[in-house]
Amino acid sequence: MKFVRFGDRGQEKPGLIDPEGNIRSLEGKCDDIAGDVLANLEQFKDIDWKSLPQVDADTRLGACVGQTGKFICIGLNYADHAAESGLDVPSEPVIFMKATSAICGPNDPIIIPRGSEKTDWEVELGVVIGKAAKYVDESQALEHVAGYCVINDVSERAFQIEHEGQWTKGKSCDNFGQTGPALVTRDEIADPQNLSMWLEVNGERVQDGSTKTMVYGVAHLVSYLSRFMTLHPGDIISTGTPPGVGLGFKPPRYLKAGDVVELGIENLGQQKQVCENDE
């Protein structure tokens, strides 16, 4: 199944995408696509979707999961991306946090922060936790996953790399975490390690990769992270990006106001954002 959240920012309502591609409201059926609901999405499997109110196709989509407590990112998780960044493949996953205030809808604008000259793009597979995970064995890790989604891990490279400290401040600006359009349940994705992914800037294909080239796969990441922190329903793991980011071009290429970014992952949907300056 494919679940969405729709409506004005901060007032999103739960919904699903029906077999005909329409958005249907789940108001009255659940409070949100969040929390304990994520551990029991199968309750909607046999729902009479034709009885659910249809939502106007032009309605804004919010992030496909609500009440996210942790937005955990994995760095340099594609060997070819590490190479274009001039860095070695890590001997174990590189973890950093993205502020949850960066989370926004899949088609909300990319806001270029004040003073930024190096705002960059990154298409990534998002993993949404459905059941709490602590010290989970890799063989059971996917049982704790509610589903998958598209993430644009927008990054400001000067803030991230050229300033002192950790990467978080280059990853956490407002609207640096487009999430969705849909949370696609785990049963619909036969193999999360075999999904094509792409990103275009102003119609030019700049990223064209596959999750099959991840250094550390989804099951390993869930198990690994659960050694260091309990993963809770609604937590998001953004699993890294393939090559083709702006930083990797020679000379580097970065986003500016008016640029249009489109991205998608096989079976998970697409996003489209217009860049604008933060005033």
pLDDT tens, position by position, 80-125: 777 777 777 889 999 999 999 999 999 999 999 999 999 999 999 9
What is the predicted pLDDT for the residue at 59? 98
What is the predicted pLDDT for the residue at 161? 87
What is the predicted pLDDT for the residue at 124? 98
3-state secondary structure at position 13 = strand
DSSP string, 203-223: TEEEEEEEGGGBSS-HHHHHH
What CA–CA distance (Å, rounded) separates 267 from 181? Answer: 11
Report CA torsion sign: 211, 119, 147, 139: positive
* Chain mean pLDDT for the chain: 96
Domains of the chain, with CATH numbers?
A: 2-55 (no CATH), 71-277 (3.90.850.10)
pTM for the model stands at 0.96
Mean pLDDT of 247-264: 97
Mean pLDDT of 241-266: 97
Residues with Cβ within 8 Å of 46's Cβ and at least 6 positions away in sequence, in order, are none
What is the predicted pLDDT for the residue at 68? 98
Identity of the residue numbered 148: Y
